[in-house]
Amino acid sequence: MIKKYIIGVDGGTQSTKVLIFDLEGNIICQGKENLRPMDLPEPGVVEHPDDDLWDSLIVAARRAMAAFPGKNEEIIGLGLCTIRCCRALLKADGTLASPVISWMDSRIAVPYEHNNPEVRYVTTTTGYITHRLTGEFNDTVANYEGQWPIDKDTWQWSDDPEIFRQYNIPREMLFNLQLPTTIAGHVTKKAAELTGFPEGLPVVNTANDKAVEALGTGLLEGPTALISLGTYIPSMVHGHKNIKDAESFFTNLASLPYHYLYESGGIRRGMWTISWFKDLLGEEVAMKARDLGLSTEDYLNREAKNIAAGSDGLMTIHDFLAWPDRPYRKGIMIGFDGRHGSAHIYRSILEGIALTMKNHTDAMCEELDLQLENIIVSGGGSNSSLFMKIFADVYGLPACRNVVNGAAGLGSAICAALATGAYPDHVSAIKNMVRIRDSFEPDPENCAVYQRMNEQVYKHINTHTDEILKKSYPIFK
């Protein structure tokens, strides 16, 4: 019997990963290439340098294919997932007219401005990479979040001319929309030569990266929320209708046609904060970790495990990248005294992420009249057992993590499995390809500490600091 494999592409803010799975969801091999630092030519402008998204995919793909132990004809499909909320401006031939605009760029929050005559198409990162792989001008509808003339009820471009005028993008500048789990095209000879992917391989539409991650964690309808630990951190629950007037969440198109995800408020530069802190500590801590045979993060987890819940009163507010409507907000660490060292700061960063997301999740679930019974935590941060325990204690719920915690790659593979007929439906695909690794139970004493800390202090800090930060913003922006 011929073994079958699927490629899942996970293009993130910090790296591009190419993973090859079997149909049981096991990672056979993978390749990864870190993205280059963002270009920041002026305030509010954040761009991916040169052709970094495509170039990094080429490198990651060749590494994965070089490690693949099977035959090329055993690979049946490729699911493509890339960063959401970006904007790619293309020439008539589908190459970049200018660098890809990051989701952190202030231009993403406003309608498109046509000030470059070379621009023929305006699309997403999935549209751009799909074209580079297939030569087609097709894109998944489920990666159009933000300033796009999209109809989330029909999953097509709006038929209202006023909507197109509002977003300032003529229809002829947009790609053809397709549903998730459909085939967008096939790998061209040129793309095969560059990447090592088999020529003619079906390239499958997925969705935006958070929706693909949700599929890869096995998130289905019910009393379960997903917390996605990435550069941007939201929480999500599954839904079946497009709720347009929500106050504490927004409705996101899922990786399955005509399914939805309700997504809470989140943290910008969430897991970036941990990388920033590790870099801030410098080589001395890194050397201590190496002497113990540990990574810097494992060393910090070990040290922070010995700190009591609440970090002896040190609290971190995660506004290290402010939202456009609150540009004055900054990251805050408050409550320092002589007890506090690097382990306290590290634990406080983790606790701040969990507390912030608990408050966002609670607001969403209250509006939905949903009572959660457990949470799933995905992303590289879930490798930390300390972080998982903090989530369980802050939420007061069991927190589980999966065997494959880079769930966007697995979600991409599940989309490809459905498009190529490897599985008849998403329930059977999830049952066979997604597995829970372990679960963490909440500790009643820690739960009580976090609840008191949150209700009496943490959730009110911004109320007291906003006025000060509004005054400092004009001086230091």
How far apart, in Å, are the Cα atoms of 431 and each of 114, 221, 332? 46, 14, 42
**Same-fold call for 5-205 versus 213-477:** yes
pTM of the entire predicted model: 0.91
What is the distance, to the nearest Å, from the Cα of residue 143 to the centroid of all Cα atoms in its chain? 12
Residues 6+ apart with CB under 8 A from 7: 18, 19, 20, 21, 64, 75, 77, 78, 79, 197, 201, 412, 413, 416
Per-residue pLDDT tens listing for the chain (477 residues): 679 999 999 999 889 999 999 999 999 999 999 999 999 999 889 999 999 999 999 999 999 999 999 999 999 999 999 999 999 999 999 999 999 999 999 999 999 999 999 999 999 999 999 999 999 999 999 999 989 999 999 999 999 999 999 999 999 999 999 999 999 999 999 999 999 999 999 999 999 999 999 999 999 888 999 999 998 999 999 999 999 999 999 999 999 999 999 999 999 999 999 999 999 998 888 899 999 999 999 999 999 999 999 999 999 999 999 998 899 999 999 999 999 999 999 999 999 999 999 999 999 999 999 999 999 999 989 999 999 999 999 999 999 999 998 899 999 999 999 999 999 999 999 999 999 999 999 999 999 999 999 999 999 999 999 999 999 999 998
Cα(455)–Cα(460) distance, integer angstroms: 8
CB under 8 A, 24+ apart: contacts of 326-332: 326/466, 327/473, 327/477, 328/466, 328/469, 328/470, 328/472, 328/473, 329/462, 329/466, 329/469, 330/469, 330/472, 331/273, 332/461, 332/465
C-beta of residue 261 within 8 angstroms of C-beta of residue 221: no
CA dihedral 95, 97, 98, 101 (to 10 degrees): -70
Give the domain 213-477 fold: Nucleotidyltransferase; domain 5 (3.30.420)
Query: What is the identity of the amino acid at 153?
Result: D
- Buried b / exposed e along 138-157 (16+ C-beta atoms within 10 A): bbbbbbbbebbbbebeebeb
Give burial (CB, 10 Å; 0-12/13-18/19+) of 383: middle
C-beta of residue 19 within 8 angstroms of C-beta of residue 64: yes
Sign of dihedral through CA atoms 416, 422, 426, 429? negative
Structurally, what CATH architecture does the domain formed by 5-205 represent? 2-Layer Sandwich (3.30)
Ramachandran angles phi, psi of 75, nearest 5°: -85, 120
Q: What is the pLDDT of residue 1?
A: 63
| Residue in the structure block whose two tokens are 């494992």 | 298
| Three-class secondary structure assignment of 259-292 | CEEEEECCEECCCHHHHHHHHHHCHHHHHHHHHC
* Phi-psi domain of 37 (left: phi exceeds 0; alpha: psi -120 through 50; beta: other): beta
How far apart, in Å, are the Cα atoms of 61 and each of 9, 51, 55, 195? 9, 16, 10, 5
Q: What is the pLDDT of residue 129?
A: 98
| Residue in the structure block whose two tokens are 């004493």 | 445
Q: What is the pLDDT of residue 353?
A: 98
Measured in residues, the chain has a length of 477
Name the strand (E) or helix (H) holding 463: helix 461-476
Sorted by where each begins, the domain ranges of the chain are 5-205, 213-477
